[in-house]
Amino acid sequence: MSLSIAIGSGKGGTGKTFLTANLGVALASFGRNVILLDADLELPSLELHFGLEGMKVTLSDVLAGRAEIDKAIYNAPGGVRVVPAGISLYKLRKVDLASLGDIFEELRSKAEMLLIDVPPGIGGDVVATLAASRQLILVVIPSFPAMPASFKTIQVAKNLGTEVLGVVINRATMDEYDLTIREVEDILEQKVIGVIPEDPLVKRSVASGTPHLLEAPDSPASLAIKKLAADLIGVEYEIPQSRVKRFIDRMMRR
């Protein structure tokens, strides 16, 4: 049975798209057949992580009835396939969000794992995307002001019958003002399933249009994402003994 996981966030700036792109590459490195879909039709950016800007057919065209979904699937670096959202505002293209469920179902039939980059917030497009998804991973930064919006997103998902797999803390720094893992779990009433350290090399990989896991495979963020991928599919993987492992161990004890 295929998995369909929405990668969401309560607000922008959490690194949700970065995680979607690189988690997909990590899952593919473990032999999984993965499709990534950018459902952020207003401010799409998943394509930038793979150098797929300006593709002729996108999700927007499929939702508008101008193309079949097969035409919007592109092979991408890292052994994944990607469905870009397109660059035009969906409100101007008369797309039908009600058809998302059928599109997701078709994509699930073509891959073992479908990862969906969800728009931030809790607007109508987010609700439609979550309703068509089976599971949700929520991406947060360890900051108290980010928690209320994140909690709302979790409640929306639950009300829609979407299973919440857990929370990933991204851009963690061990700063004294950062929330601890226990505090995040207490506030959001969800288990933290991954911690991704802040990584100065991320900007370089995004600028190059290459997934970070390929550009910097031994970097702190890459190793943590690979561990998250392994845990999701039940594969044994230990982060090498290094400062990265020590950092994550300290985070887990906070």
Asked if the model's pLDDT at residue 252 lies above 70, the reply is no
Asked if the model's pLDDT at residue 37 lies above 90, the reply is yes
Fold of 3-253: Rossmann fold (3.40.50)
Take residue 185 and report the two structure tokens written for it.
């779990």
Q: Are 12 and 169 in contact (CB under 8 A)?
A: no
- What pLDDT, on a 0 to 100 scale, did the predictor assign at position 91? 47
- What pLDDT, on a 0 to 100 scale, did the predictor assign at position 177? 77
Residue found by looking up tokens 């309560």 in the block = 10
Asked if the model's pLDDT at residue 1 lies above 70, the reply is no
CA 68, 66, 73, 17: dihedral to nearest 10 degrees? -130
Question: What mean pLDDT comes out for the span 223-246?
Answer: 86
Report the distance separating Cα 162 and Cα 158, nearest Å: 5
**β-strands 74-76, 80-83: how paired?**
antiparallel
Q: What is the phi/psi pair of residue 58, to 5°?
A: -135, 180
DSSP alpha helix (H) spans, the chain: 16-29, 59-63, 100-108, 124-132, 147-159, 181-188, 202-208, 212-215, 220-233, 243-253
- What pLDDT, on a 0 to 100 scale, did the predictor assign at position 158? 95
Question: What mean pLDDT comes out for the span 129-137?
Answer: 93
Residue found by looking up tokens 């990668």 in the block = 7
**Close Cβ partners of 9 (under 8 Å, ≥ 6 residues apart):** 16, 118, 120, 138, 139, 140, 150, 153
**Close Cβ partners of 3 (under 8 Å, ≥ 6 residues apart):** 112, 113, 114, 134, 135
- What pLDDT, on a 0 to 100 scale, did the predictor assign at position 147? 95
Its pTM stands at 0.93
- What pLDDT, on a 0 to 100 scale, did the predictor assign at position 207? 82
The larger pLDDT score, comparing residue 94 to residue 223, is at 223
- Give the amino acid at 125: D
- What pLDDT, on a 0 to 100 scale, did the predictor assign at position 94? 61
SS3 assignment for 174-229? CCCCCCCHHHHHHHHCCCEEEEEECCCCHHHHHHHCCCHHHHCCCCHHHHHHHHHH
pLDDT digits (tens, 9 = 90+) for 76-127: 999 999 999 986 554 445 667 778 889 999 999 999 999 999 998 888 889 9
Take residue 210 and report the two structure tokens written for it.
């290459």
Asked if the model's pLDDT at residue 10 lies above 80, the reply is yes
What are the boundaries of each domain within the chain? Answer: 3-253
Report the distance separating Cα 18 and Cα 56, nearest Å: 23
**pLDDT over 90 percentage in the chain:** 66
Report the distance separating Cα 170 and Cα 5, nearest Å: 17
Average pLDDT, the chain: 90
**Close Cβ partners of 234 (under 8 Å, ≥ 6 residues apart):** none
Asked if the model's pLDDT at residue 237 lies above 70, the reply is yes
Question: What mean pLDDT comes out for the span 144-154?
Answer: 95
- What pLDDT, on a 0 to 100 scale, did the predictor assign at position 95? 65
- What pLDDT, on a 0 to 100 scale, did the predictor assign at position 251? 66
Question: What mean pLDDT comes out for the span 177-182?
Answer: 87
- Give the amino acid at 234: G
